[in-house]
A and B are shown apart, each in its own frame.
Chain A
Amino acid sequence: AQSVSQHNHHVILSEAASLELGCNYSYGGTVNLFWYVQYPGQHLQLLLKYFSGDPLVKGIKGFEAEFIKSKFSFNLRKPSVQWSDTAEYFCAALSGNTGKLIFGQGTTLQVKP
C-alpha cells in the first residue's frame, strides 16, 4: 500500500538552529509531493510542492525541500528557524495512479525562544 513516513514525531529546537524534517514515501510510480503546515489553532496551509523540474523546491517563509528519487525522500529544510515556526508539519504524496493525497503522521516542531 502507498504510504508516507515522517521519521521525527516531535522536534525541539532553539531559535536560529537549522531544521531538517524527514519524509519518505513508498510509491514507486509518478508521485507529487507536498509539505503542509498547521500553526496552533489554524488550518492546514501549503508550504511547498513538487511535481516536476528542479528537485530543490523553495516554499514560503524560507522553507525548502529536496526531492531525491533514488531515496524516495522529500525532506523539509530551513537554515534558521524562528519561534513562529512552532507548528505541526505534514508531508503528503499525491499518487499519479490513484489521485489520492496520502499524508504522513505529522511532525510537531517546537522552537524555543
Chain B
Amino acid sequence: ETGVTQTPRHLVMGMTNKKSLKCEQHLGHNAMYWYKQSAKKPLELMFVYNFKEQTENNSVPSRFSPECPNSSHLFLHLHTLQPEDSALYLCASSQASGRAVDTQYFGPGTRLTVL
C-alpha cells in the first residue's frame, strides 16, 4: 500500500530546531488530514484541508504550521516544539471531507522525538 507516503519516517529534533514533515497522496483525493497519535491516547485530529483550503484547525498550537500547496501534498512545519510534542504524526487523505463514503487512507506516519 503506497497510496499515502510520509517523509521522514523518523525525526529527532531539539526544541530550537525548525523542521518539516511531508505527506504525499497518490489516490487522486481532494481532502488531506494531519493527526497526532500519542501513547495511550486516541488519535487527535489536527488539521483538515479540502481542495487546498484549510477547513479545520483543532485548536493546535501555532508552533505547528500546516501547508497544502496542492491536493496531493501536505506539509507540517515545526518550530520551537516541546518534549510533549513527541508522538507519531499521521497523514491521511480521502476523496472529500465529512462524508461517510469518504474513507480516510492513512500514511505510515512520522515518529517525532523532541529533545
Chain A residues near B (Cβ < 8 Å): 4, 32, 34, 36, 42-46, 49, 51-52, 90, 92, 94, 96, 98-106
Contact = CB atoms under 8 A, between A and B. Distances in A.
Contact of A51 (B97, B100, B109): B100
A42 B108 contact: yes
A98 to B, nearest CB: 8
Classify chain B: how many residues form its interface, as a range.
20 to 34
Nearest to B56: A100
B74 interface: no
Contacts of B104: 101
A104 B45 contact: no
Interface of B: 1, 4, 40-43, 45, 56, 90, 92, 97-101, 103-109
A104 B42 contact: yes
13 contacts: A34-B103, A42-B108, A43-B90, A43-B109, A45-B1, A45-B106, A49-B103, A94-B98, A96-B100, A99-B99, A100-B45, A103-B43, A106-B42
B56 A44 contact: no
A22 B51 CA distance: 36
B43 A94 contact: no
Contact of A103 (B42, B98, B101, B105): B42
B111 to A, nearest CB: 11
Contacts of A45: 1, 106
A105 B41 contact: yes
